[in-house]
Amino acid sequence: MLTTRTVRIGSRKSQLALVQSHWVQAELQKAHSDRTFEVKTMSTQGDKILDVPLAKIGDKGLFTKELEVAMLANEVDFAVHSLKDLPTNLPEGLMLGAVTEREDPADAMVVHPKYQDLKLETLPAGAVVGTSSLRRLAQLRHHYPHLTFKDIRGNLNTRLQKLDEGEYDAIILAVAGLQRLGMGDRIHQIIDPDISLHAVGQGALGIECRADDAEILALFAPISHYPTTQRCLAERAFLRELEGGCQVPIGVNTAIEGDRLTLKGIVATLDGQTLVRGEVQGSVTQSEEIGTELANQLKGKGAQAILDAIVAEFR
C-alpha cells in the first residue's frame, strides 16, 4: 500500500539540472496523480569549483556526493542526474533506479559568428576551441592537430557568453544539453560520432535512489526506457571495467538493431596521438557482459598502458 507522503526529488541548482529534474517531476506527476512531487536543490563540489579543470580536482562524484548524502539521510527520496555525471560505482545503499529515454548523445560545435560559414574540419590553424572534456580533447586533437584547444568551465550560459565575447572561436558541447535548454538553434555542427565518440551515458538521465526503497522504485516504471537502459548499462560496464573517470579519455557509441546490441569504444592518450578502438556485438539482454568484454579487448590492445600512464600523471 503506497503512502501519500510528498516525494522529494534531489537536484543540483544549475539551469540544466533543474530543467531535467522538473521534467522528471512533471512526468511522474502525470503518471501518479495521487502523489505530490517536489524538487529540493543543493550545490555540489563540482558546481562550486569553476576555475580548475575537472581532471585536476577529482572524479565524477564531484557532481553527485551531496545528493547521495541527502538520500542516505532520508532528506530526499531520489536524485536526477545527467547519467554521464553518475559514477559507475555507487555508494553502498544506493542504486541506479531508472534510465530515461535518451536524447541525441552526440557532441556539437557552437561557433563565434565570424566562423559561421566554416565547419570543425575547415576552421583555420590556431583557431581556439573550448572544451572541458578530456575525451573530446583527445579525439579532436587526433583528428584536427592544427587547432588550439583551451579548457572552459561554467554553466552553459557562461560558456556561450565566453564564446560570443571572443575568448573562444568555437566550443564543443553536448547536443542533448543544448536541446533541453531550448538552445538547439545554437548548434552549428553535430560532430560525426566516429570522430568524437560520446561520453558514457551522454544524453540520458539517471535516477539514483535508495536500494531498499521499493515504494520509490515502483514509481519509476513510466519513465524507464528499456533500449536506453540496456545501451547505458553496456557503456557503464565498459567504463567500470576500465576504471575510468573524468580524467580518462574514454568514448563510446551504442546501437540496438532487433535483439542485437553493438558497443563501440575508445581509449585515447591525452595528446591524441594514440587511439585504441574496438567493437563488440551481442544480445541486448547481455549488455553488461558486452561492456566488460569490450573493456578487456581494449586492455589487450594497449589501453591498460594508456590508463596507467594517465592515472600516474594525475596522481
pLDDT digits 0-9 by tens, 101-152: 999 999 999 999 999 999 999 999 999 999 989 999 999 999 999 999 999 9
Q: Could you tell me if residue 32 is inside a domain? A: yes
Continuous segment of H or E residues that includes residue 11: strand 7-12
User: 96 and 209 share a domain?
Assistant: yes
Q: Could you tell me if residue 289 is inside a domain? A: yes
User: 88 and 208 share a domain?
Assistant: yes
User: 120 and 82 share a domain?
Assistant: no
User: 156 and 44 share a domain?
Assistant: no
User: 46 and 75 share a domain?
Assistant: yes
Confidence tier at 243 by pLDDT (50, 70, 90): confident
Query: Given this model, what pLDDT does residue 154 score?
Result: 84
Kindly report the CATH number assigned to the domain that includes residue 217.
3.40.190.10
The whole-chain average pLDDT of the chain stands at 91
Query: Given this model, what pLDDT does residue 246 score?
Result: 55
When pLDDT is averaged across residues 284-292 and rounded to a whole number, the result is 98
Which segment of 2-16, 129-143, 203-217 scores lowest on mean pLDDT?
Answer: 2-16
User: 215 and 239 share a domain?
Assistant: no
Query: Given this model, what pLDDT does residue 51 score?
Result: 45
**Which amino acid is residue 248, in one-letter code?**
V
Query: Given this model, what pLDDT does residue 52 score?
Result: 42
Under DSSP, the state recorded for 109 is E
Query: Given this model, what pLDDT does residue 57 score?
Result: 41
Sheet containing strand 275-283, strands side by side: 250-257, 260-268, 275-283
User: 8 and 138 share a domain?
Assistant: no
The range of the structural domain enclosing residue 260 comes to 225-315
User: 95 and 2 share a domain?
Assistant: yes
Asked if the model's pLDDT at residue 63 lies above 90, the reply is no
Q: Could you tell me if residue 283 is inside a domain? A: yes
Confidence tier at 43 by pLDDT (50, 70, 90): confident
- Number of structural domains in the chain: 3
Sheet containing strand 107-111, strands side by side: 148-150, 128-130, 170-174, 107-111, 189-190
Q: Which pLDDT tens digit goes with each residue over 66-113?
A: 999 999 999 999 999 999 999 999 999 999 999 999 999 999 999 999
3-state SS assignment for residue 284: helix
**Which amino acid is residue 134, in one-letter code?**
L
Query: What is the dihedral sign for C-alpha 40, 45, 50, 55?
Result: negative
User: 46 and 185 share a domain?
Assistant: no
Residues in the chain: 315
Q: Which residues are catalytic?
A: 85
User: 20 and 33 share a domain?
Assistant: yes
Q: Could you tell me if residue 197 is inside a domain? A: no
User: 124 and 82 share a domain?
Assistant: no
Query: Given this model, what pLDDT does residue 216 score?
Result: 96
User: 128 and 44 share a domain?
Assistant: no
Q: Could you tell me if residue 195 is inside a domain? A: no
